[in-house]
Amino acid sequence: MTDNKVALVFGASGIIGRGFLRHLDGLNDWDITSVMRNPPNFDTRAEHLPVDLTERDASLSGLKDVPQVTHVFYTAYKDYPTWEAAAEPNTEMFKNAMDGLLQNAPNLEHVQILQGAKYYGRHLGPYKTPSKEEDPRHMPPSLYFGQEDYLHELQVGQSWSWSAIRPQAVCGFSIGNPLNLTSVVAVYAAISKELGLPLRWPGKPEAFRTIYQVTDYDILGKSMIWAATTPACANESFNVTNGDVFRWEHMWDRIAEYFDMEVGPPQQINLSQMMADKESLWNDIVQKHGLAPTPFDKAANWAFGDYAFGSDWDVCMDTTKCRRAGFLDFIDTEEMFTNQFDELREAKIIP
Amino acid sequence: MPDHKVALVIGATGIIGGNMIRHLDTKDDWQVIGLSRRQPYYDSGAKFISVDLSDSVDCQAKLGELGHITHIFFAGYTDRPTWAEQDAPNLKLLANPMDVVEPIATGLRHVCLLQGTKAYGSQLGPFKSPAKEIDPRHMPPNFYYSQQDYLAEKSMKKNWSWSCMRPHAVCGYAVGIPMNLVSCIAVYATISKELGLPLRFPGSPVTYGGMFMATEAGLLSRAMEWAATTPTCADQAFNVINGDYVRIENMWPKFAEFFGLDIGPLQSINLPLMMADKGPLWDEIVKKYDLVPNAYEDMAHWPFAQYIFNNEWDMMSDATKCREFGFLEFVDTEQMFLDQFAELRENRIIP
C-alpha cells in the first residue's frame, strides 16, 4: 500500500500523543512512526524511533532518515517548574525536531502543532472568553508562540502546510498517564469513598460555579486528522472542544451519582499536599478491590487537579470556526466522563 | 414525487413566523398558509388569512377550510404585563386555531411550538445554565408549559406529533417588529451618533460582561423544518441557538466600528424612559439620510432592549441535544449582528 499517508507523531507518551496513536492505530490508510525517548509501554502498531529532542545533535542525526513522512503531529512537551520557564526549552525541542526532519522530507504535506487554551492566557488569570482563534496573544513568553512562530517561518514558500489545534483539558482513558482530569476525579472519588467521606468539591469555591469545558481525546484525535488532511484547513488554527460548556457544580452531582456517593458541600483543599500521604491507602484500595496495580504517582496528577479546579474565572473557547470549516464531531461532557469512568472500571484501574 | 406538505404558520408577521414563511417559500415541497392579524410586510407565494387568534368565533369563521394542512408551526404571542396574566390568553392563542383545524386536518403530522429560554426561568433570575432540555421546570405559571402540555395531551393516540423549539433572542429580517435586538441596537447607535455621542453600552455592567447567546432566524427556520419532518424529533424539545456564546463587551467594539463611532465607557440608562422623547429625532434622521420611512415605535421596543441588557446572569442553554439528533448548523453570533446591521443599511432602514 504505497498510497498510505505516513504520520510522524512526536511525544506519543503524553495523553494527547498517546490518545492520538490509539486513534491512528485504527486507520488503515496511515502508517505510523512515533518519536519518543523510551519505547512505548502500550500496544501500538507504530514504529518506534527513539530520539531525545532536548539533544540537538541527536535530533539531527536521529531524524534524517524518515523521508517517507507525509504528516507530522507534534505533541511533545517537557515540563518545567513554570509555564514561562518551559517556553524556551520547548521551543528549542520543536526546532530540533523540525530541523532534523526537514533535512530529508521530500514527501512532507503537513505539520501540525498542538496548543491549548493557555494560548489565550487561560492560566494567567481572568481573560477574554469565549476565546477566538484570532484573539491577540497575551504577553510572551509562551512555548506555543515560540513554536508557532518558528513553524510559520519555516513554511514560507514551501509546498507543505501547517495547522494548530487548541483543545482544553484533554480527557481520556489512560493508564499511567496521570495528567488527565478523568483520572484525577476518579481517584479522588475512590479515596474519598474509601475514607467514608462524601464527594466534596476540592477546588476554589468560585471555580465550582464558573464555566468550564474539556476535550475528549477521541474528538481531539478526529479533529487532528481532519485538520491535517483537509485542504481548507491549511495554515489555520482551530479551537477543538466537546462542543458544550458546563459548571462543575452541575457535573459534580452526576459524578457523585456514578460513584454512588453523597455530594458534600465544597471543601477547598490543596490536593497536592492533602494527597501526599495517601499512597498506602491507595495500595490498600488496589488490594481490597482486586485492581490492576497502578503506582499512586501514576494514578493521578494532583497538581494538575489543583490547577484545573482553581480557575475562579470562566474558561471557555469558541468553536464556531471548526464547525463552519466542517468539523462537526461533539460529545456531551457528562456522557464523556461516564464513558471514561466505565473504561477505567473495566480495566480495573478504579473500584 | 416529492412528499407534498402544507404548512400552517401561525404568527406570520412576527420575526420567527415571517422568516419561516420566507424559508418555506424556497422549498418546492411546501405549500404555505400564514395566519396573522396584520398584512405581511414581505413578498411571498404563501396564502395569508387575517384572523384574530384570541377570538374563537373568528377562528371558526376563517379557518374551517384548512383540512389539507399537514404541519403547524406556532409562533404566535400576545403580550401582557405579567407572566401570570400571559398564561391563559397565550394558551387560547394556540387552542383556538387548533380546536378548529385539528379535527378536520386528517393528514396532520406535526405541530411545532415555539418557546424560548424562558422555559428554564431565564426571565426570573439566576437559573441553572447552560440549561438542558431535561432540566426540571420552574414554578408555574409559564404559558410555554401550558401550551406544551396542551399539545402533549391533545396528540395522544393521534397520528401527529409535536416538538418545542427553544431559541434565544431571535435575530433576523423583519419590518415593523420592534422586539428585535438587531434593530434596537442599530437605532440606539444611530441616535447616539446623531447626538455626537460615543457608543456606550446602556445596560448593566454585569450584563455587559456576562454570557449571552442568540439564534439567527434563518437557522431557526431550518431547525423548525428539520424537527417537524424528522421522525426521531417527535414529542421532543430542543434548544436551538447559534452554537456559540458571546459577551456583549467583546462585540461592542465591533459594533462601534460598524457604525463609525468611538466606543464610550459604559453608561447605564433606563432605555424606555431615555428614548421616549427621541421620536422626532428619528424622523429627522430618516429625512436627513433619505431612509425608508419607518415609525420610531416600529423600529425599537425599548422595554425589550432594557430587559435583554439588564439580565445580570449568564444566559446560556446547551445545544448538544439537537446536535445529537442531527441538526448541525452553526452561526457566528458576532458576524450575524454585523451582517444584519449591513442588511438594514442596504435596505435604507438605517443610515
Based on the fold, state whether residues A98 and A75 are members of the same structural domain. Answer: yes
Q: Does B295 share its domain with B219? A: no
**Residue A78 counted as domain residue:** yes
A325 within some domain: no
Q: In this structure, are A76 and A223 located in the same domain?
A: yes
Please give the residue range of the domain that contains residue A341. Answer: 170-214+245-316+330-346
Residues B152 and B24 placed together within one structural domain of the fold? yes
Query: Best interface-test mutation with B: which of A249, A320, A336 has the largest number of B CBs within 10 A?
Result: A320
How much is the pTM?
0.91
| Chain A stretch 202-231, residues whose beta carbon is closer than 8 A to a beta carbon of chain B | 211
Which pLDDT tens digit goes with each residue over A174-221? 777 778 999 999 999 999 999 999 999 999 999 999 999 999 999 999
For A41-65, what is the mean pLDDT?
94
Nearest residue in chain A measured CA to CA from B335: A320
Best to test chain A binding among B206, B244, B246, B317 (most A CBs inside 10 Å)? B244
Q: What is the CATH number of the domain that holds B22?
A: 3.40.50.720
Burial class for A147, CB neighbours closer than 10 Å (0-12, 13-18, 19+): buried
Range of the domain at B155: 5-169+215-239
Task: Check if the beta carbon of residue A253 is closer than 8 Å to that of residue A263.
Answer: yes
Considering the domain architecture, whether residues A193 and A284 belong to the same structural domain is answered as yes
B322 within a domain of the structure (yes/no): no
pLDDT tens, chain B, 351 aa long: 568 999 999 999 999 999 999 999 999 999 999 999 888 888 898 999 999 999 999 999 999 999 999 999 999 999 999 989 999 999 999 999 999 999 999 999 999 999 999 999 999 999 999 999 999 999 999 999 999 999 999 999 999 999 999 999 999 978 778 788 999 999 999 999 999 999 999 999 999 999 999 999 999 999 999 999 999 999 999 999 999 999 999 999 999 999 999 999 999 999 999 999 999 999 999 999 999 999 999 999 999 999 999 999 999 999 999 999 999 999 999 999 999 999 999 999 999
Let me know whether A260 and A206 are in one domain.
yes
The closest CB to that of B250, out of A128, A320, A332, belongs to: A128
What number of C-beta contacts closer than 8 Å exist between A and B? 47
Q: Is A104 exposed, middle or buried (0-12, 13-18, 19+ CB in 10 A)?
A: middle
Min mean pLDDT across A1-15, A58-72, A77-91 is at A1-15
List the grid coordinates of B7: 404548512
Q: H or E stretch including A307?
A: helix A302-308
Report the domain count for chain A: 2
Decide if B319 is inside a domain: no
* One domain, residues A109 and A23: yes
Where a domain ends, among B239, B254, B273? Answer: B239
Chain-chain contact of A244 with B330 (C-beta, under 8 angstroms): no
CATH code assigned at A282: 3.40.50.720
Residues A124 and A15 occupy one common structural domain: yes
Question: Which chain A residues contact residue B247 at CB under 8 A?
Answer: 129-130
Residues of A in contact with B211 (CB under 8 A): 211, 314
Q: Check whether residue A58 and residue A178 sit in a common domain.
A: no
pLDDT value of residue B2:
64
B344 and chain A in contact, CB less than 8 A: no
B247/A129 touch (CB, cutoff 8 Å), yes or no: yes
Domain assignment of residue B295, yes or no: yes
- Residue A341 within a domain: yes
> Domain check: are A164 and A200 in the same one?
no
| Domain identity same for A58 and A163 | yes
Q: What is the reported pLDDT for B1? A: 53
B 251-310: CB under 8 A from A: none
Quick check: A85 contacting B, CB < 8 Å?
no
Residue B1, C-beta contacts closer than 8 angstroms, at least 6 positions apart: none
Residues of A in contact with B316 (CB under 8 A): 211, 245
The verdict on B158 and B282 lying in the same domain is no
A185 and A334 belong to one structural domain: yes
Establish if A133 belongs to a structural domain: yes
Residue B178 confidence (pLDDT): 79
For residue A329 the three cell numbers come to 464531531
pLDDT score recorded for residue A1: 46
Say whether both A227 and A292 belong to one domain. no
Mutate one of B245, B325, B329 to test the A interface: name it (highest A CB count within 10 A): B245
Mean pLDDT of A216-233: 97
- Based on the domain organization, do B131 and B51 belong to the same domain? yes
Of all residues in chain A, the percent with pLDDT exceeding 70 is: 99
Percent of chain A with pLDDT over 90: 91
**Which B residues in the span 301-340 are in contact with A, Cβ-Cβ below 8 Å?**
314, 316, 318-320, 323-324, 328, 330-332
Of A244, A324, A328, the CB nearest to B130: A244
Catalytic positions of B are 118, 144
For residue A322, being part of any structural domain is answered with: no
Kindly state whether residue B31 falls inside one of the protein's structural domains: yes
Same structural domain, A155 and A272: no
Contact A320 B330 (CB under 8 A): yes
Q: Using CA atoms, how far apart are residues A144 and A321, in angstroms rounded to an integer?
A: 20
**Tens of pLDDT, residues A71-127:** 999 999 999 999 999 999 999 999 999 999 999 999 999 999 999 999 999 999 999
> What is the pLDDT confidence band of residue A259, given thresholds at 50, 70 and 90?
very high
Residue from A347, A313, A332 nearest A123 by CA: A313
Same domain, B232 and B283: no
Domains contained in chain B, number: 2
pLDDT tens-digit series, residues A30-50: 999 999 888 887 889 999 999
Residue B324 lies inside a defined structural domain of this protein = no
For residue A239, what is its C-alpha cell? 479551537
Confirm whether B326 is domain-assigned. Answer: no
Strands B47-50 and A47-50: unpaired
Q: Active-site residues of A: which are they?
A: 118, 144
